Structure formats: structure tokens, C-alpha cells
Homo-oligomer: A and B are copies of this chain.
Amino acid sequence: MSPAEIEAFLHEKIPLAQAMGVRVESSGAEAFILTAPLEPNHNHLGTAFGGSLAALATLTGYACLWHALDDRDAHVVIRRSELDYRHPVRGTLRAICRRPEEGELAVFRSTFAKAGKARITLAVTIEEDGRGCLYFRGDFVAIR
């Protein structure tokens, strides 16, 4: 699936992604990157709303795993997350999820194939000008 196809899928299935103006910048082998403009996502201070940052990080982890799993029968859901807000975001929101190591993904896929359920922890960072503004860790579960 191309970034444009993933973007269309997210906008169709998750209306908040459309309302936030989410774009897929990269769905490459190294990292999955989503962006969103500040305008629909600002707060009372003119910086990014913490809830928009949380929603974008959650969506990035979800979409990264869904894309890496590449299994039409898998439903990916979030179970837990921890968010550490370090600095305000003043421009475009840009969330980066490093793709899990191939070995970890292989275990995840084989557990899912055997048990119909598998769990994985993903880290997402929202960066601006090379600085980490939000650090997100989420436990995601794939269920058949």
C-alpha cells in the first residue's frame, strides 16, 4: 500500500484523522511517519493541543503496526499508553514510529498466527526542529 492509499484508508475509517488533517509522510521500512497541520489542532495558547498530540501518536502506532502486520484478518487495538510531554509544538505535528526490529515482528506475527492474538510495545516520538516534544509508548494488541 502506498502512503496515499494508507492515508485514504485512515481518513475513511477514522473520521478524526480527516478532521485533524492527518497525512502519511512515510510508510517506509525504517519508520512510519504521520503529520498534521497546526491549524485544526491548536489549543488556547496557539500551540498543539495535548489531545491532538495524543491522538496523532496513538494513530501513528496503530497504523505502523497495521501496515507492518499486513494481515486483513487482524484488528489492531491499543491497550495502554504512557505519554511524556516535554516541549510545546509550535508548527506542524510530526509523529515518528520506528518500525519494530524484524525479529520482534516475526515473533509477533507467529504468535498472532498460532494464538489469534499478539501484543507489542511501540514507541512514537513527536519531533519539531529535531527536538523530541512528546514521547509516547503504547501497548498494542492484534486480535483476529
Contacts and interface: CB of A to CB of B under 8 A. Distances in A.
Nearest to A56: B51
Contact of A50 (B15, B42, B58, B82): B58
A103 to B, nearest CB: 27
Interface in A63-89: 75, 77-85, 88
Interface residues of A, number: 34
Contacts of A55: 16, 49, 51-52, 54-55
A107 interface: no
Nearest to A22: B51
Given A19-B40, A40-B19, A58-B54, A14 B81 contact: no
